[in-house]
Structure formats: structure tokens, C-alpha cells
Amino acid sequence: MDWEYVRYYVNWLTGEIRDFLLVANSPGQKIVLAVVVIALFVAVMALLLWLVDRPRNPRGWLVASVFAGPALLLIGFGLVYPAVRTTQSSFYDRTSTTFVGWDNYVRAFSESEFQIVLRNTALWVFLVPILATAIGLVYAVLVDRTKFEKLAKTLVFMPMAISMVGASIIWKFVYDYRQASSPQTGLLNQVLVWFHVEPQQFILSQPWNNLFLIVVMIWIQTGFAMTILSASIRAIPEDIIEAGRLDGLSGIGMFRHITVPSIRPALIVVLTTIAMATLKVFDIVRTMTGGNFGTSVVANEFYTQSFRYNDKGLGATLAVILFVLVIPLVVYNVRQMRKVEEIR
């Protein structure tokens, strides 16, 4: 076999595919590209299944490699490799050419600008999971088995169907400010005017503007907490509830001694899941303030340093810090979910 000819043909085919991808702008070309990608996927899967099915008694390692191999390759290419490259870039300067060691990490933890970013992130991670979970839990208990339960739960869950950007725009209108002499377009300021209070610039006044941004995340995540916890409350065995009633528990006592201990695993999962989402919050801050006025968080600052200031080293450092902060929550969440499965 003429390997030079094969190599030439492969290079030519690769170049043609690359050129086609670069110029695929018209709807027809995009449709053809989609069909080609789907056909390639089907062909690869058919080949893999044929390889597994060909021997009568395929070895276990072969089956595992065929079915898990592509997924592991994609994970390695899409997650592991970028993580390694990002970690490597965090030890270089803004142009990723000069090795600077731990200098970027020292800047991230010592400069006042980034200390504010870390403070804001800590405030988000502390307040959002606790308040969203608490409100969702109380709401789930109050509306459980009432006549308007479905409607009440639907209204609270609706924000979950709205994108972060959409929710941010909605709340930006709620917080909108006009001078006292002008008609107010912001709902909150209009309420203040009705009570003869001066309109306030809610998303500009530091440090309270962070709290007003946090409200948006709580508004979105409360529906998630309510849904999970409501299902957990309904799953409490009736004999446990009856035992509590026989002991004279009711109202707050039933909630404290029966409901909360019974749904503790679900509470932990909800708290950690919301905490992970809050650590990565970007859309709300970017849409409402752009990270200005002392409202930036780690995810937003990573974007700002990487793409606005072209400081690749510092941007990678912030990404690594965010990654390190998320890992303990992910591990703890997985362990709690396994415990819940073992109980069931």
C-alpha cells in the first residue's frame, strides 16, 4: 500500500472538511453539515456495535471499551484537557509566554479589587442557598395538600423556566430608577413614591446593590428547592407522621421534629446544588451591572480579565479558583445522593 498516497488523501479530505466548515454560512450548507454529522455519528455507532456483536462471547473489556470509550474520549477532550491547559496558563503572564509561578494567585488573593470579588462570591454562596432553601421549604409545607396547591407551586416554579438573562432583565426593570420629578418606570421605586419616599438607585448603591442582585438568584432557585422538598415531604412514611401525632406533636413541633429530620438528605442535596449554581453565577451580574459598582463575582471577573483586558494568566487563575471551590461541593453532593439511594 502506498502510504504517501493515503497520507495525501487524508490531508486533502481534512482540508476540504475544514474549508467547508469555515464557509458553511447559508441555510443549505448548514443543513448539509448537520446531515453529514448525524450520518457520521450513526456510522461510528454502527461500527462499534458491529465490533461488539461480531464475536459470540465478547470479552467484558471489549464491551466496556466500545460503550464507555467514546464518552471517556469526549470527557477527556472537552473537560480534562481544557482543565489542564487552564491550570498551566494560570502560572504564566497575561500573554501566556513568561512563567510567573504563583504571582497570579498572589494577586487574586491580595489585591483589594479581587478581595471584593471574593467577598461578593462568598456573600452569594452563603445567602442564596440558605434563603432559597428556607423559603422553598416553608412554602412547600404551607401549600402542601391545600386546594390551590398546584397553582401555588406553578407560580413559584415559573421563574425556573426563565433564563438567567431574562430574569435579570425583568428585575432590572423592577429596580429601574428615575428622578423624583419624573414618572417612575421601576416597580420598586414606584412603590416608594406611593409611600412618599425618595426613589433609590438600587443596583448602583454599594454594598447593598449586591443584595438586590442576590434577590434575583433566590427568586429563580426557590422554585427548584420547593419542588424537590415538596416531593420529599410527600414521601415521608405515614407511620412516622402518625407516631408524631400520637406523641402530641403538631404545627411547628411536627415540622421541627418530624418533617425536617425526615427530609434532611434532600435538604443537603438542595443546598449543595444551589450553592454550586451560585458559585458559577455570571449572567445576572453581567446583565444587570456588568460587574461594575462593586458587584463582580469570580465567574464574571474571569470573563472580564480574559476577554476585556486580555490577561489570560489572571483569567485562568480565577477559573482555577472557581473550579477548586466547586469540587468539594460536587463531591459532597454525590456522597449525599448515594446515601439517599442506599436508604431507598
308: confidence class by pLDDT, cuts 50, 70, 90: confident
* pLDDT of the residue at 4: 64
Is the pLDDT at 24 greater than 60? The verdict is: no
Residue 306 has pLDDT above 50, yes or no: yes
For the segment 34-83, what is each residue's pLDDT rounded down to a tens digit? 787 788 778 877 777 776 666 666 666 666 776 777 777 778 877 888 88
Query: Chain-wide mean pLDDT for the chain?
Result: 83
Cα–Cα distance for residue pair 227/136, rounded to 1 Å: 8
pLDDT tens digits along 165-176: 999 999 999 999
Asked whether 160 and 224 are in contact (CB, 8 A), the reply is yes
Residue 182 CA, chain-centre distance (Å), reads: 39
Q: Which pLDDT score is estimated for 1?
A: 47
- The pLDDT, as a whole number, for residue 219 is 94
Q: Give the per-residue pLDDT at 218.
A: 95
**Bridge partners, 99 (sequence order):** 92
pLDDT at 120: 93
pLDDT at 126 exceeding the cut of 60: yes
Residues 248-256: contacts with CB within 8 Å, 24+ apart?
255/141
Compute how many other C-beta atoms are within 10 angstroms of the C-beta atom of residue 120.
24
Closest by alpha carbon to 121, among 267, 300, 305?
Answer: 300
> pLDDT class for 8, splitting at 50, 70, 90?
low
User: pTM of the entire structure?
Assistant: 0.79
Residue 216: how many other CB atoms lie within 10 Å: 25
Q: Which residue has the higher pLDDT, 25 or 35?
A: 35
**pLDDT score of 36:** 76
Q: Is 84 helix (H, G, I), strand (E, B) or coil?
A: helix
- CB 190, CB 177: distance < 8 Å: no
Q: What is the mean pLDDT of residues 276-286?
A: 90
Give the Cβ contact number of residue 287 at 10 Å: 19
Return the CATH architecture of domain 103-343. Orthogonal Bundle (1.10)
The residue ranking higher by pLDDT, 211 or 253, is: 211
Residue 124, pLDDT score: 95
- Work out the percent of the chain whose per-residue pLDDT is above 90: 24
Give the tens place of pLDDT for each residue, 87-108.
899 999 888 888 988 999 999 8
Domain ranges, ordered by start, for the chain: 3-89, 103-343
CA–CA distance from 135 to each of 129, 143, 144, 219, 237 (Å)? Answer: 10, 12, 14, 10, 24
Which range has the top average pLDDT, 56-60, 74-78, 112-116, 211-215?
211-215
**Region of residue 290 (phi > 0: left; psi between -120 and 50: alpha; otherwise: beta):** left
Is residue 48 within 8 A of residue 70, CB to CB? The reply is yes
Closest CA relative to residue 177, chosen from 187, 165, 166: 187
Q: Give the Å distances, CA to CA, from 230 to 136, 164, 221.
A: 9, 24, 14
